[in-house]
Amino acid sequence: MKSLALIAALALPLAAQAQTNPADWDAVAAAAKGQTVYWNAWGGSTTTNDFIAWIGNKVQDEYGVTLEHVKLTDTADAVTRVLAEKQAGTDTDGAIDMIWINGANFAAMKDAGLLYGPFAEQLPNWQYVDVTGKTVQTDFTVPVEGYESPWAMAQVVFIYDTADIAEPLSSMQAILDWSTAHPGRFTYPQPPDFLGTTFLKQVLVDTLDDPSVLQQPATDENYATVTTPLWDYLDKLTPTLWREGRAYPATGTAMFPLIADGEIDLSTSFSPGAATAAIANNELPDTVRTFVLDKGTIGNASFVAIPYNSGSAEGAMVVANALLSPEAQARAQDPEILGYGTVLDMNKLDDTQRGLFDALDLGIATLSPADLGTVQAEPHPSWMTRIADDWATRYGVAQ
């Protein structure tokens, strides 16, 4: 990720912005008409590509905006392109008008002044966004400050087979107690797999008395003290795991066959709809369900951001607003379309809008937006860098 380090090091001032005031939506809509928006977004899923095409039809019909999906395999490629344009002095009409982004890529672009905005909280559909229950105003601890707009949520859930576990488990301590009483029936992916490292973060968030310390960078002074509960927990949990912690699944989906074959009864996922989809595909038994912890589980949002030199910033704002519409959010949550979590607050919707969500058949193993409870914020990335390295030293095994 050398390009991200270079971007951050530049620390450029914010560049000139488009002249249309994001708060003047009539002016935004007028300027957007006839614009073409090049949205650089992951292109590795047919269902996601189809959803983006549907959004394109929606903004074309309603605003006269043309949406072109530029399919990416790595978001950093788009970030590098914007940086190259900045270095070349291409400060207007850049090749990229919008990026599906979060995490380190967003932080690097924001720090370097490579983003248009702030705009997100001026979008008309921002009024429906859940700003208290969802992590939509920070991105991996970085304040968003209106420089990106959320459009989908992911959240940790635990997958369990009700044929073997009668009730959901309420905390990481309860999971430890259950695993101790039922050795070999639980596991998680081997870090540095994303879900494996997320499980470690979830342990820490749930076992710390005050997890807010994780919102600040890890330092030599605080690291050992803060992570002590994690290592104490894992020292007790590891011998109780599948294969006594001497082997781990490589990915989250690699745990599905273990449940289906009766080797384990409990696993985890970062997709609330994953279990339902796996049941539908005959990958999991229909006795499988999901739960979250009483204190909530870690979640993060997918966002869209607009590069500072977009020639179609108004059109990009139209697309970002369309993604926040109750119609689009309900469509994205439909497990037959995407199965993504919504960023909207159900209590802010009128009866008709709420009805779009109430009518969804989320599937037998998918929790409702209300049942997903509180979303816990992602820790600062510096914690996971050190924790993943330490985990490999303490518990790691050869793949």
Condensed to tens digits (0 to 9), the pLDDT of residues 9-41 reads 444 444 445 569 999 999 999 999 999 999 999
What is the gyration radius of the CA atoms in the chain, in angstroms?
22
Mean pLDDT value across residues 179-195: 95
At 57 the pLDDT is 98
Distance CA 363, CA 226 (A): 39
Question: With contact defined as beta carbons under 8 Å apart, do 299 and 156 qualify?
Answer: yes
The answer, yes or no, to whether residue 399 has pLDDT greater than 70, is no
Please report, rounded to a whole number, the percentage of residues in the chain having pLDDT higher than 70.
95
Mean pLDDT value across residues 312-325: 98
At 15 the pLDDT is 41
Mean pLDDT value across residues 140-164: 95
- Single out the residue of 23, 25, 35, 30 nearest to residue 313, CA to CA: 35
The answer, yes or no, to whether residue 313 has pLDDT greater than 70, is yes
Distance CA 361, CA 94 (A): 42
Structure tokens given for 192: 């540095």
- How does pLDDT run across 341-368, given as a tens digit for each residue? 899 999 999 999 999 999 999 989 999 8
- How does pLDDT run across 110-150, given as a tens digit for each residue? 999 999 999 999 999 999 999 998 889 999 889 999 999 99
The DSSP line for 24-70 is -HHHHHHHHTT-EEEEEEE---HHHHHHHHHHHHHHHHHH--EEEEE
Find tokens 């043309």 and name the residue: 66
* 241: Cβ contacts below 8 Å, ≥ 6 apart: 179, 183, 184, 186, 187, 188, 248
The answer, yes or no, to whether residue 210 has pLDDT greater than 80, is yes
Mean pLDDT for the chain overall: 92
Higher pLDDT, 218 or 74: 218
Distance CA 131, CA 344 (A): 8
Q: How confident is the model at residue 302 (pLDDT cuts 50, 70, 90)?
A: very high
Mean pLDDT value across residues 70-75: 90
Distance CA 15, CA 386 (A): 34
- Single out the residue of 270, 307, 271 nearest to residue 70, CA to CA: 307
Mean pLDDT value across residues 288-308: 96
Domains of the chain: 2-151+303-368 (3.40.190.10), 157-291+377-395 (3.40.190.10)
At 205 the pLDDT is 96
The answer, yes or no, to whether residue 4 has pLDDT greater than 70, is no
Mean pLDDT value across residues 267-273: 91
At 386 the pLDDT is 92
Question: With contact defined as beta carbons under 8 Å apart, do 268 and 73 qualify?
Answer: no
Mean pLDDT value across residues 170-181: 98
